[in-house]
Amino acid sequence: MRPIVFEKDPTFWFETLRSFGHIAYGGADFGEVLVTAQRITESDYDSWHDEWLATADRVAAEAERSLAAGHEVSARDGFLRASNYYRSAEFFLHGDPSDPRVDSAYDRQVACFRAFAGMSGIEPVEIPYEGTTLPGYLYRGTGGATVIMHNGFDGSAEEMHFYAAAALVERGYNVLTFDGPGQPGVIRKGLPFRPDWEHVVGPVLDFALALPFVDPSRVALLGASMGGLLAPRAAAFDPRIKAVIAFDGVYDMGAVVAEAVGGDREAARQALADPQADEHLRTLMSQNPTIRWAATHGTWVTGASSPRGYSAAMLDYHLRDGIAERITCPTLVCAAPDDFAFQGQPEALYEHLTCDKTLIEFTETEGADAHCQSGAQRLALARISNWLERTFA
C-alpha cells in the first residue's frame, strides 16, 4: 500500500495507517486523522505529539460537552476516538520516559477509554500478578467461548478494543484484555517485558477460569504484533489454552536484531557485548526511522540502559529450540506481505508448528498487506473470527 502521507518516514506512515484502521471499530474518523497528519512535520517527534494532542483534546472536550448535555451516544463515541488519539500522541516520546508528556497523554487515553467503557458495559479489572495487578477489561458476550488477548511491543489493552475485542464481542464471545509486563499499564509500575510469557498468562487464566460463565474447554489466547510470539510461547507451556491466534505470527525476535547488526544470532550476541555497539546502533538509528523508534521505545520497555541492552534482550524472545513444537492446541498464524519488521516470521512459525495449524496470508490487493493488517481490520477480524467459530464448533 502506497503512503498517502509521510512518504519518507515509514514509522509515521504506519502509525497514521494504524489510526485509519481503527476507524473500523470507532477509534477514529478519517478527516480527523488526515488533517492531523497533514499538520505534522515529518519525522519530528515533538510535532507528532503536539498535533495529536491537540486533536485528542478537542475531541475529548466535545465528548465532555455532549455528556453534560445528556447526549450519551455522542459522548461515548467521542471518548473512544479521543482515547486512541491520546495513545498516538505519546507514541514516539519513549526515548525519555520521564518526559511528563508521556504519562499525561497515557493517563488521558485510559480515562477516556474508561469513560467509554462505563457507557458500554465493559468492566475494568485488575488481575492479581506477583504482588501487584495487571490492568485489563472484561467484555461479557452471549456465547460460551472466551478469548483472552493482549497487545505486543508497544500497544495497550485499551487499543485491543479496535484490534479484536469489539469484533469478537459482537460475535458473542467473552473477551478479557490485559496489559502484561513491558506493556503500557505495567511498565509504568516498573515491570519490563519478560520472555517467559507463560508466567504472565498463567495468572490471567487463573482469573478468567474463576469466572462462573467461562467454559474452560473453550478458551483462546490472541496476541497482536509481538504478541504473535508471546501468545504462542504461553500456549506451548499452558494446556489450559485451547486455541491460539498469532496476529501476526513472530518466530524469533533475535533474527530481526541479527539482521540489523549484521550476522547470525551468535555473532549478534558477541557484537552486542561490546560497548562500542551502541555507537553502531545510534548510527543505524540516525539512518533508519524504524530502528530509531524501536531502539528508543525498546530501551524503556525491556528495562535496558541503552539500545545495545535492548537489542541483546530481544535475542531471548523466540520460539526456537523446540518451543513452537510444544504447542498442541489449534493455532492460527496471520501473515502480511509488507510487514515493516517481521518479513518471513509468520511463515517460519507456521513451519515449526506440529499441531493443528492454519496460515492466513493477506494480500496487497485486499488492502491488508501492512503489519497486523492495519487498514483492513474488518477483513482480518472476520477471518480470525471465522477460524475461531470453526475451531470451537
Coil, helix or strand at residue 163: helix
Closest listed residue to residue 381, CA positions, set 89, 167, 231: 167
Task: Give the three cell numbers for residue 39.
Answer: 499538520
- Counting DSSP H helices and E strands in the chain, the numbers are 17, 8
Distances (CA, A) of 344 to 262, 340, 350: 17, 11, 10
Per-residue HEC secondary structure of 36-73 comes to: HHHHCCCCCHHHHHHHHHHHHHHHHHHHHHHHHCCCHH
Task: Give the three cell numbers for residue 149.
Answer: 488477548
DSSP assignment, residue 371? G
Cα–Cα distance between 120 and 122 in angstroms, integer?
6
Distances (CA, A) of 178 to 32, 81, 108, 313: 28, 20, 18, 23
Cβ 46 vs Cβ 79: under 8 Å: no
Helix 72-89 and helix 10-21: axis angle, to 10°? 160
Closest listed residue to residue 153, CA positions, set 28, 344, 261, 314: 314
Q: Which residues are catalytic?
A: 225
